[in-house]
Amino acid sequence: MKHILGLDLGTNSIGWALIKQDFENKQGEILGMGSRIIPMSQDVLGDFGKGNSVSQNRRTYKIQKCKEIA
């Protein structure tokens, strides 16, 4: 008997399931499952649709600072 935890990590949600699997008898049982949605503003969600990551602004700022130092 084996316990397996499955995770689904999305951009603004996390899903999970815990199952008990018996590989010898080819039987399984779902012990629990659920999801959590992380609220995000529409402008952030719109950036994902454009292919922009949340950390893009931070990365751009760091690159500019490095160029100023060099």
Asked whether residue 26 falls in the same domain as residue 46, the answer is: no
**Max CA distance (Å), the chain:** 65
Asked whether residue 1 falls in the same domain as residue 35, the answer is: yes
Asked whether residue 31 falls in the same domain as residue 55, the answer is: no
Asked whether residue 32 falls in the same domain as residue 59, the answer is: no
Asked whether residue 2 falls in the same domain as residue 24, the answer is: yes
Instruction: Say which DSSP state 55 is in.
Output: T
Asked whether residue 3 falls in the same domain as residue 30, the answer is: yes
Sheet holding 13-22, edge to edge: 2-9, 13-22, 27-37
Q: Is the pTM of this model over 0.95?
A: no
Which helix (H) or strand (E) segment is 18 a member of? strand 13-22
What are the pLDDT tens digits along the chain (70 aa)?
899 999 999 878 999 999 999 999 899 999 999 999 988 777 666 666 666 666 777 788 888 888 888 6
Asked whether residue 50 falls in the same domain as residue 27, the answer is: no
Domain hosting residue 55, numbered range: 41-70
**What is the tally of structural domains in the chain?**
2
